[in-house]
Amino acid sequence: MKTTDLKEPSIFHHRISVVSLALIVLVATICWLLRTSQPASANDMSIDVMAQPSTGATSAPTSTPVPEAPPFDGWDSVACGHTCMDGAKVDNQLLAARLITLGFSGKIPDNWDELTTRQKIGIPGVTFTRRRINGQFVDIPGFVSSYTPFKDISVFIYNNRVYWNNDWLIRDRPRFFNTNAISFRDGPGESHPVIGELAPYLEGIGDLGYKVTGYAGGHNITEAQWIEVRDWYDEPVWIEAGSGKLIGPIGTVPVLDEVPSIDLTRPLQVRSGPGSEYPVIGAARIGSHYHLCGQNDATTWIKLCGKGDQELWIPANDPTISAQMKTTDRTNYLPIEPAPELPVPLVQGTIKTGIENIQQFLDTCPQNDPNYGIFSKDFVVRLDGTILTAIPCSEPVSEMPADEYTWPLHSMQIVRTIYYLSENTQGYLPWTSSSLYDWLVANVQGINLQTNFLYDYLAYCCDYYGGRTYLTAPASADDGLLPVPETSHIIDGVSLFIHEARHADIENSYHIHGCAAEQRPDGPASCDLQYDVLMPGAFGVEYWLDSNVASGYLNIGIGCMPSKSSVIVWIRDAANWLRSNFVRDLPPVATVNWPVGGPCLAP
């Protein structure tokens, strides 16, 4: 490593005397010895610390005094050997890993103009080197740059020694590790905006981790819904509990609840608004923990905080509420929430959608639909990234040759079906207060069909084009399902679309392993952890749609079809197959009610 020369420049004049020269050399030698001799660390680590040399250029001498090297109060050091300066190729990963494992962290003194810094973050095998020049950190060529600031560093190398600050030993404090990047908010709860992303910090790299400073939404931190940690800027941010691993004395972490919360000790019916005139959209499970987001102006109904924009209301006089929360607490802390618009009433116990006879509906081309200009603009079909402006179709669609009924046409029929199926669904969906179509296009705005789809699943979310979010699926029968213009296949497509849209809707909605649906242990993760009708995951919304079409509650005119039994059995079986995609708390068995497919409501 090239370092700044700590000796005064040797400037000789031809008239200087030999004696004067000898005195100058003697004084310079003494100064050099005083400045470079450092005492051994009191905490002798007995490790061979080695570092790869920096490629930064040697600084030119200036009139500014060069600061003395540490140690000073709180700092310790260990000699890194001749390899700090001779340019030898050494293992700088070993340096970072060994020191950070001991729990070292430190800060760069503001008055040091030039240092070589190294930091190991949660990416195995990657170390970072930068120089601080004129108060700014500059990348050194040949090293991987980090997107994290270098305000805090683990160790630094100066004048042939490695230094750390014992004031920043953190092995005995609560800390958080995460294997994936996770979004963070400025407060606990979905109502707080996402303001950034927390980089991965892998356990086993060292004892650092993110510092844990609080929790919210639980009797203790192990039951909490939200965790407060310190990001790379040492700023407090909030992350969803369960998105990583807590280590250390977590019992010392304080509760920082901003709003009251409850734990449900019995099943509790939840409505889409503050009053019995609103429909029941599900039952909160025993053991569920909820923040309380608000109350109606009469303080007779409480709004629960969910995972999205849904309206979840329970009566304020329910014993579950009154046992855990005083009326004065509710009045003091909960804001008044406006009541949502009442949904369209059920017709003969079913949600009357805009589809009166699904079979007749699907026999017409989407291009001939009077609302084609709306849904084709809201939801764009691409083929290998290119927008398709013309999608051939002929009527009746059911009589089209198989090689002419394409995935682009099938995709547009699915979107068209969702557009009309969504009529009157607002206020009845447990995961959103919007209609099904409005919720879909708020989260995804198209589908990208790939001719060379290389993945071991039907579709994924998401790709991005022109600021829009796209589902991605295979474009041919060789790479995926054969498109069929039948009701059962269209409903399968509707379920698939809303499944992928749910991934875009809720953060960190990754699938996991461990359910019965997985065909082989090395295959892709194919499970949701549990079915919670009020906070469903991707398989949860898919099951909800299939099971309610099968029961006839979501009425799409199957009851008006001359032959409907095979269609409704297909959809029911699809819903029940989805039950195997949950690790625990499986949804109820889907059933077919009478009349099959719901009553025929066509005029």
Cα separation of 50 and 161, whole Å?
10
Task: Give 358's DSSP letter.
Answer: H
User: Can you give the pLDDT at residue 305?
Assistant: 80
Q: Express as a percent the part of the chain with pLDDT over 90.
A: 37
Per-residue pLDDT averaged across 281-303, rounded? 86
User: Can you give the pLDDT at residue 114?
Assistant: 29
Burial environment of residue 258 by CB neighbours within 10 A (0 to 12, 13 to 18, 19 or more)? middle
Which position has the higher pLDDT, 459 or 165? 459
What is the distance of C-alpha 563 from the center of its chain? 45
Q: For residue 79, how many other CB atoms are within 10 A of its CB?
A: 13
Q: Domain 175-252 is in which class?
A: mainly beta
Q: pLDDT per residue over 410-450, tens digit each?
A: 999 999 999 999 999 999 999 999 999 999 999 999 999 98
Widest CA span in the chain = 118
User: Is residue 125 over pLDDT 90?
Assistant: no
Fold entry, domain 262-333: SH3 type barrels. (2.30.30)
User: Can you give the pLDDT at residue 127?
Assistant: 35
Q: Quickly state the pLDDT bin for 85 (edges 50, 70, 90).
A: very low
Per-residue pLDDT averaged across 20-28, rounded? 46
Per-residue pLDDT averaged across 350-376, rounded? 96
Question: Residue length, the chain?
Answer: 603
Cα separation of 229 and 212, whole Å?
4
Helix pair 487-505, 436-443: axis angle to 10 deg? 50
User: Can you give the pLDDT at residue 600?
Assistant: 95
Q: Quickly state the pLDDT bin for 387 (edges 50, 70, 90).
A: very high
Q: Quickly state the pLDDT bin for 481 (edges 50, 70, 90).
A: low
Dihedral of the alpha carbons of 474, 475, 480, 482, in degrees to the nearest 10: 150
User: Is residue 24 over pLDDT 50?
Assistant: no
Q: Quickly state the pLDDT bin for 82 (edges 50, 70, 90).
A: very low
Per-residue pLDDT averaged across 317-342, rounded? 73
Compute the chain's Rg from CA coordinates: 32
Q: In this structure, what token pair is assigned to residue 255?
A: 């509760």
Per-residue pLDDT averaged across 254-274, rounded? 80
Ranked by mean pLDDT, which of 41-55, 182-196, 361-375 comes out on top?
361-375
Cα separation of 557 and 560, whole Å?
5
Task: Tell me the average pLDDT of the chain.
Answer: 73
In 252-343, beta strands by DSSP E: 261-263, 268-271, 280-284, 289-295, 301-304, 312-315
User: Is residue 475 over pLDDT 90?
Assistant: no
Strands 446-450 and 386-387: what pairing? unpaired
User: Can you give the pLDDT at residue 327?
Assistant: 53
Give the dihedral sign, CA 353/356/358/363.
Answer: negative
Among 6-20, 312-326, 457-471, the range scoring the smallest mean pLDDT is 6-20
Q: How far apart are the first and last CA of the chain?
A: 86
Among 51-60, 71-80, 200-209, the range scoring the smallest mean pLDDT is 51-60
Residues of the chain with CATH 2.30.30.40: 175-252, 262-333
User: Is residue 153 over pLDDT 70?
Assistant: no
User: Is residue 531 over pLDDT 90?
Assistant: yes
Which position has the higher pLDDT, 177 or 126? 177
pTM (2 decimals)?
Answer: 0.60
Per-residue pLDDT averaged across 151-174, rounded? 47
Burial environment of residue 346 by CB neighbours within 10 A (0 to 12, 13 to 18, 19 or more)? middle
Q: Quickly state the pLDDT bin for 181 (edges 50, 70, 90).
A: confident
User: Can you give the pLDDT at residue 161?
Assistant: 52
C-alpha distances out from residue 491 to 434, 495, 554, 558, Å: 20, 6, 12, 11
Ranked by mean pLDDT, which of 67-81, 313-327, 534-548 comes out on top?
534-548
User: Is residue 579 over pLDDT 80?
Assistant: yes
Among 140-144, 505-509, 567-571, the range scoring the smallest mean pLDDT is 140-144
Among 86-100, 166-180, 522-536, the range scoring the smallest mean pLDDT is 86-100
User: Is residue 220 over pLDDT 70?
Assistant: yes
User: Can you give the pLDDT at residue 80?
Assistant: 45
User: Is residue 139 over pLDDT 60?
Assistant: no
User: Can you give the pLDDT at residue 322?
Assistant: 66
Q: In this structure, what token pair is assigned to residue 549?
A: 């079409």
97 and 120 in contact (C-beta within 8 Å)?
A: yes
198 and 184 in contact (C-beta within 8 Å)?
A: yes
User: Can you give the pLDDT at residue 257?
Assistant: 61
User: Can you give the pLDDT at residue 172?
Assistant: 56
527 and 538 in contact (C-beta within 8 Å)?
A: no
Cα separation of 476 and 122, whole Å?
40
User: Is residue 133 over pLDDT 80?
Assistant: no
User: Can you give the pLDDT at residue 3?
Assistant: 31
User: Can you give the pLDDT at residue 88?
Assistant: 29
Q: In this structure, what token pair is assigned to residue 141?
A: 């060529």
Closest-CA residue to 312 (of 191, 465, 456): 191
361 and 371 in contact (C-beta within 8 Å)?
A: no
Q: Quickly state the pLDDT bin for 188 (edges 50, 70, 90).
A: confident
Which position has the higher pLDDT, 86 or 245? 245
Q: pLDDT per residue over 398-411, tens digit each?
A: 999 988 999 999 99
Q: Quickly state the pLDDT bin for 201 (edges 50, 70, 90).
A: confident
Q: Quickly state the pLDDT bin for 331 (edges 50, 70, 90).
A: low
Cα separation of 274 and 366, whole Å?
39
